[in-house]
């Protein structure tokens, strides 16, 4: 399960505003940005909607969307579609496989299953060795049942689960089938470990971290998350949000 090296740092490459064939879709719009699909390296601290709103403002195009939400603390590939012809294609991206690099901290459980939440339990940790951890990780590969985290956008009885959770209620979330294609141990450290995950649409990495902690008997939460790939769009193709916005304004 080990052997894969983690990506290093941020990519400094650029996506031209006149992209390669297949990146811009045909449109009758007069906007120079209509039909553009571009992977952005989302910074921490912004919601996916924040990114969409900033690109909408910079491009002057009202119809802008993204191909798969990232939590505010997460970074990495967020595929953006500008214009009607591009946003129509984003639904297909949502169905594609994704790849993540995740840091997990053992011994501390939170209500959100990540470091932003309230601590609900702490446990003494006997740090596993790589071999022991690999034996647990293999149990989470293939098609498995996963319950979304309480703080998620899944609807329960017509209401988003996170709304119920914020009111102190426990949403009745049901397990659903997901597929973990690859789950590789990258690194062990004094507080937990780093893993590389290739998974299907609908997978919650926060739930995966939580469930691995339960399987180890010590609890866990997600400490950091970076998305490396959405379908065929990879981190190495992605551009920082600030650089992309600067170039949009330059063209306008």
Instruction: Specify which residues 177 forms β-bridges with.
Output: 145
CA distances from 209 to 93, 160, 200, 205 (A): 24, 22, 16, 6
Residue 140 and residue 203 in contact, taking contact as beta carbons nearer than 8 Å: no
Q: Is 71 a catalytic residue?
A: yes
- Beta strand extents in 136-191 (DSSP E only): 142-146, 155-156, 159-160, 176-188
Nearest to 220 by CA among 136, 129, 137, 108: 108
CA distance 123 to 156: 31
Both structure tokens of 102:
């995740």
> Which residue out of 41, 50, 71, 97 is catalytically annotated?
71
Tabulate helix, strand, coil % of the chain (nearest 5): 25, 35, 40
Query: Catalytic amino acids?
Result: 71
């Amino acid at each position: 399960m080990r052997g894969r090296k983690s990506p290093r740092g941020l990519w400094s490459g650029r996506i031209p505003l006149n992209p390669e064939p297949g990146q811009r879709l045909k449109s009758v719009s007069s906007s120079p940005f209509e039909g553009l699909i571009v992977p952005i390296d989302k910074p921490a601290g912004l919601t996916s909607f924040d990114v969409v709103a900033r690109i909408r403002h910079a491009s002057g195009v009202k119809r802008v969307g993204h191909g798969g939400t990232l939590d505010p603390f997460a970074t990495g590939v967020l595929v953006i579609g500008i214009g009607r012809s591009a946003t129509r294609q984003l639904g297909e991206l949502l169905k594609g496989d994704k790849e993540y690099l995740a840091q997990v901290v053992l011994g501390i459980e939170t209500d959100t299953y990540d470091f932003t939440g309230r601590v609900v339990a702490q446990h003494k940790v006997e740090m596993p060795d790589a071999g022991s951890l690999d034996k647990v990780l293999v149990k989470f590969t293939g098609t498995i049942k996963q319950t979304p985290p309480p703080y998620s956008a899944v609807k329960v009885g017509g209401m988003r689960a996170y709304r119920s959770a914020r009111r102190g209620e426990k949403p009745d979330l049901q397990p659903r089938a997901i597929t973990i294609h690859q789950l590789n141990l990258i690194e062990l450290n004094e507080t937990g470990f780093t893993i590389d995950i290739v998974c299907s649409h609908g997978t919650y990495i926060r739930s995966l971290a939580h469930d691995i902690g339960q399987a180890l008997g010590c609890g866990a939460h997600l400490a950091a998350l970076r998305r490396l790939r959405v379908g065929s769009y990879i981190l190495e193709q992605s551009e920082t949000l600030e650089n992309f916005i600067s170039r949009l304004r330059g063209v306008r």
